[in-house]
Structure formats: structure tokens, C-alpha cells
Structure 1
Amino acid sequence: MRSEQIAKHIDDAEIYHGEAICKQKSRQLLQDMSLPQGLLPLNDVVEFGFNRTSGFVWLRQKTTKEHQFRAIGRSVSYDTEVMAFVEERRLRRLTGVKSKELLIWVTISDIIVNDSDPTKITFSNPTGISKTFPASAFELDDDDNGAARRK
């Protein structure tokens, strides 16, 4: 079942099904938008959609996923549906992504690569609180690169 937000943007969207092509398309989109390719380390992706006109993108996976970004010591949880509006160096109105801060899961609503210093990436929550990290911490893991090369 598609969310209402996806239904609003499905006309004119490019839609792909299957894990291999969905991973490829999501990584290509991140690269095209000058965002680190490891931002969305999802598994069992069943659908990827992108509406170029509105900039709306979505990914659907079979189950939620928790990922540890080792370089910064942060756990991030990805819901079965991850949606955002994408533009150059930015994911805005992001849904389906939470970061663990101490013992609390905090919703991430915006991800921005700094225009003046592209080595920095900033994550914001809906209340406007933000945190900046090195962008290199969100590149593909060696495991992800190896898996991509083997396919």
C-alpha cells in the first residue's frame, strides 16, 4: 500500500522494482545531487521512485533497518518507507529516518551538504536543532562497495 504522499507524486515518476536496480538508482541519484552515496544504506529495497518535476523521491524496503555509521559512532534507523524532496546537495522534508542520540531516537528532517565547505554535512530535526559531521563518514562502506562490485 502506497502512502498518500507517494500517490501525489506518482504521475510522471520513474519507478523501479528489485533490489539491485533500486540500490543502483538511489546511489546514482545521491551522486547526481552531490550527496554522499552511503546516506541510504538500505537492504531489501523493493521500490525506488523519483519524480524529476517535483524532486520527490521514495524508497520502500521489506523491513526497517538500523545502520551504524562507524566513523561517527551513530546509529540510524530507516523505516520501510523513506521519502524526501531532493535537490542539489540537499534532502528536505525527509521522512522515515531517525538517529539515536544518547537513548532517544530523533527524527531527521533535512540533510544538507555545506555549499562553502562540501566536506561537511548537516542533519536537522523538525524543531530546527542540527548537527554537523564530516561528509566522508557517509560514503559507502567497504562492504557496500564490495557487494556492488560483485554484482
Structure 2
Amino acid sequence: MAIIDTPDYLPFPESDPDNYKPGSSMWAVMDPVSPDGDYVKDLVVGFERLASGEGIPLHIHTTEELLIIDEGEAEARLGDERRVVGPGTVIFVPAGTPHGFRNLSGGVVRLHAVVGRHIVGTQMLDRLPRPGTEGQPPQPARIDDFRKFISEPRT
């Protein structure tokens, strides 16, 4: 059990060739592990600040996801649907459904995501290529363990 009230936004890793967003940042939050076992084991909340012109490439996950737009205007992609969304928009993403965003506003788009598992498979279907990697296909699917991601420094 925890109350976490100090955001720790970090830049996205520049090493990711498919998800290059040098002006954006994120904060992932999980209930810290408690030795007595009294903690929320799998729920993950991610907060993102997407800089103007940046976004989230089209991708799929092995888990369901809930997305909430807090600020700004973005083009959301969910399956075959494209829609301009703004503050207060809630998007339910079934496992395996392609989804992504593009910041359309002149400022920051703030959103948060909730997943019910700390181990999530991700397959990028599109790219925001790191300079020098343009024209390459997306990297192979990967498995992310958010407990590891949150507890270790990112480079």
C-alpha cells in the first residue's frame, strides 16, 4: 500500500530506435513491493508528456490498456479509427489492438495509461525513428517488466 505524490518524469530512452521523442518525458508508477505481501502487485500507471509534434507510434500490447487524455489535442488511432481527442477523453484498448497518438497541439499533450499487469508484451507497428535509423523496420516484439523498469536507472 502506498501513496505516491512526487512525480519523477524522466526522458524517454534515446537508445530506442522506434520511439524517438527527445522533447517528451514519462513517469511510470507501481505500488512498491511490501515484504508482508500487502501491496498492489500488478497495476501500473504511466504518465506521459508528449512534446509538440511528437507522439506514440502505432503498436500493440499483450494486455488491455486504459488511456486518459489530461491536456492538449492529439490524433488518436485505435484499430482502424482515427479521431482528434482532447482533455477528458478515455480510450479503452483491448489486448492486441493497434493504437497510437500524434500531438497536434502547439503545446504539450499530457495523458496517462493504466495496465493491469506489470509484465507487458509490446510490438511496434510503426516508428518515430531515431536519427540515423530512418527506413529501418520496427524492432522485434519485446517483453517489458515494469517492476524492473521502475527500479533501475534508464540510459
Query: What's the TM-score once normalised by structure 2's chain length?
Result: 0.25
More helix per residue: 1
Higher Cα radius of gyration: 2
Structure having greater relative contact order (Cα 8 Å, sep ≥ 6): 2
TM-score, normalised by the number of residues in structure 1: 0.26
